[in-house]
């Protein structure tokens, strides 16, 4: 296997050329190169949109820097964390480099799709993948694994303005419990609430390694068990807003009591203020929501002034105590 081929950001190549050099496949979106210790990801947002893959592309930067979203392997039915998806998700643990390509026209005089090499990436060490609802190739709704990819520290990805995710159009509302409450320009998509069971992880992100504590995830898991014991059904869902690329996802919806919850892993004023803003954003998209209530979920009792702040915004408070959760079930 020759090593004269260089992976230089911005270089135009083809799947055939990459496969010949690195010994990987050339037909799927995720192609592991086992001997080369690499995983190659081929993103084609225009082709993906044809099959309901509407999440792919350069997303908005967040507090940790640049981000590219990529929908996983599996054209129909719920995507699962196995096979090629597993090789992408655990490329770091497997000791494999991750390299991203984006479709870039065709080779002159042929129908072969050119691939523009974006650069070496890594799955987001804090939140590697999210589950979103979207259409499959068979035009049926399913769970899609949306991987969050970041450039490796020190690299300069060769993405362009055209690689940004396009704003969502007005869409048809999926027929779920909350669908009758949502205005026509907003899409609501049912999904399972996310699960985090580890207390903390070490994240090597731009700026250096840091410890990320998943207090919020542990709080959510404890509260979901509490809801189940109380006989309450719950779920989470996506809200895709027309004209935007971001997806709003409330932490948890208590179906039994018709309550939206936003959880925070720390009982601080800044966290509570953030939760208030998030709940206000969610609630404004359900203007006809008769009886809908919203609540902040915290790991401990806040100060009296924070309690007053929440009450002034007509937001309920639930917080964890030694033997359960104070404030649950909600009062009137």
Distance in angstroms (rounded) separating the CA atoms of residues 117 and 323: 54
The residue behind tokens 């990320």 is: 212
pLDDT of residue 52: 56
Q: In Å, how far are 58, 68, 124, 154, 270 from 62, measured between CA atoms?
A: 12, 11, 12, 17, 18
Q: Does the fold of domain 167-332 match that of domain 1-166? A: no
Among 193-202, 303-312, 317-326, which stretch is predicted with the lowest mean pLDDT?
Answer: 193-202
Q: What share of the chain is helix, strand, coil (3-state, %, to 5)?
A: 20, 35, 45
Q: Tell me the pLDDT band of 199, cut-offs 50, 70 and 90.
A: very low
Q: 1-166: which CATH number, 3.40.190.10, 2.30.280.10, 3.60.9.10, 1.20.1260.10?
A: 2.30.280.10
For the segment 199-208, the average pLDDT, to the nearest whole number, is: 46
CB contact at 8 A, 101 and 117: yes
For the segment 61-71, the average pLDDT, to the nearest whole number, is: 89
Q: Tell me the pLDDT band of 53, cut-offs 50, 70 and 90.
A: low
Encoding tokens for residue 133? 């609802």
Among 75-84, 178-187, 278-287, which stretch is predicted with the lowest mean pLDDT?
Answer: 178-187
Check residues 175 and 29 and name the one with the higher pLDDT. 29
Mean pLDDT of the chain: 82
What tens digit of pLDDT does each residue of 106-119 get?
A: 988 888 999 999 99
Among 11-20, 278-287, 294-303, 323-332, which stretch is predicted with the lowest mean pLDDT?
Answer: 278-287
Q: Inform me whether the pLDDT recorded for 315 exceeds 90.
A: yes
Domain ranges in the chain are 1-166, 167-332
Q: Tell me the pLDDT band of 35, cut-offs 50, 70 and 90.
A: very high
CATH fold, domain 167-332, is Trna Endonuclease; Chain: A, domain 1 (3.40.1350)
Among 21-25, 207-211, 253-257, 324-328, which stretch is predicted with the lowest mean pLDDT?
Answer: 207-211
The whole model's pTM is what?
Answer: 0.63
């Amino acid at each position: 296997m020759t090593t004269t081929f260089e992976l230089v950001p911005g270089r135009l190549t083809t799947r055939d050329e990459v496969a010949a050099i690195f010994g990987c496949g050339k037909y799927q979106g995720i192609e592991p190169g086992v001997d080369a210790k690499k995983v190659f990801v081929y993103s084609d947002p225009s082709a993906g949109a044809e099959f309901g893959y509407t999440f792919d592309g350069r997303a908005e930067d967040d507090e940790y820097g640049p981000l590219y979203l990529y929908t996983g392997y599996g054209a129909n039915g719920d995507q699962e964390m196995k096979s090629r998806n597993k090789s992408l998700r655990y490329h770091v643990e497997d000791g494999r480099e991750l390299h991203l390509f984006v479709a870039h026209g065709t080779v002159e005089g042929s129908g072969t799709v050119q691939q523009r090499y974006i650069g070496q990436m890594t799955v987001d060490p804090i939140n590697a993948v999210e589950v979103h609802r979207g259409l499959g190739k068979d035009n049926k709704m399913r769970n899609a694994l949306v991987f969050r990819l970041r450039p490796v520290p020190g690299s300069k990805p060769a993405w362009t303005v055209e690689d940004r995710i396009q704003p969502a159009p007005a869409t048809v509302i999926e027929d779920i419990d909350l669908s009758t409450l949502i205005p026509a320009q907003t899409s609501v998509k049912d999904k399972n609430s996310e699960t985090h069971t580890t207390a903390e992880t070490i994240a090597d992100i731009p700026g250096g390694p840091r410890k990320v504590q998943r207090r919020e995830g542990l709080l959510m898991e404890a509260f979901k068990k509490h809801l189940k014991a109380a006989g309450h059904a719950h779920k989470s869902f996506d809200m895709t807003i027309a004209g935007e690329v971001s997806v709003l996802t409330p932490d948890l919806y208590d179906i039994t009591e018709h309550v939206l919850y936003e959880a925070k892993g720390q009982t601080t004023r800044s966290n509570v203020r953030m939760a208030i803003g998030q709940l206000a954003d969610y609630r404004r998209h359900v203007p006809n929501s008769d009886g809908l209530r919203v609540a902040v979920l915290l790991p401990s009792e806040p100060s009296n002034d924070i309690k007053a702040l929440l009450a002034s915004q007509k937001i309920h408070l639930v917080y964890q105590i030694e033997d359960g959760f104070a404030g649950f079930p909600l009062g009137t």
